[in-house]
Amino acid sequence: MTRPSRYRSAPATISASTFAQPGKGCRAVKIHYTVEHDGGWAYKLGDVFSEAFPDRAAALTAAKRAAAEQHVPGEAAYIEYQDEAGRWHTEFSAGDDRPDADVTG
């Protein structure tokens, strides 16, 4: 299983137009972590699974921690990511344009 990070997972659930860009402002973004069981407990963002956990409670705790980390502002920076079609994009992230993250499952 691949452990999701704040930006590596983003293209699976956040469209290119959601990030703040100079002169364009920021749009609210909603992302959802889910807790699932498929031969072991894990949380998932988009199509990316976390590491395995011994039980649902541990996976849920880790998912809640990951969702809470989404709310922490960062520094303004240009970011690069690859979309589903394989095209690379460079965009400006203001650092305070954090998504609203929650946990289901």
Residue with tokens 């990316």: 48
The model's pLDDT over 91-100, given as tens digits with 9 standing for 90+, comes to: 998 888 777 8
**46 in Cβ contact with 36 (< 8 Å):** no
Range of the domain at 88: 10-104
Regarding predicted confidence, which is higher, 4 or 99?
99
Position 3 in a domain:
no
Position 35 in a domain:
yes
The model's pLDDT over 7-39, given as tens digits with 9 standing for 90+, comes to: 333 323 333 333 444 444 445 577 788 888 877
Q: What integer pLDDT is reported at residue 51 of this predicted model?
A: 92
Q: Residue 4: beta bridge partners?
A: none
Position 5 in a domain:
no
Position 72 in a domain:
yes
Give, in degrees to the nearest 5, the angle at Cα 102 between 31 and 100: 55
Among 6-20, 42-56, 57-71, name the one with the lowest average pLDDT.
Answer: 6-20
Q: What integer pLDDT is reported at residue 28 of this predicted model?
A: 57
Q: What percent of the chain has pLDDT over 90?
A: 28
Residue with tokens 């069981």: 37
Position 1 in a domain:
no
Examine the pLDDT at 105 and tell me if it is beyond 70. yes
Position 2 in a domain:
no
Biggest CA-to-CA distance, the chain: 47
CA gap 56, 42 in Å, rounded: 8
Q: What are phi and psi of 61, to 5 degrees?
A: -60, -45
Please list the alpha-helical segments (H only) found in the chain.
Answer: 10-13, 56-69
3-state secondary structure at position 66? helix
Position 4 in a domain:
no
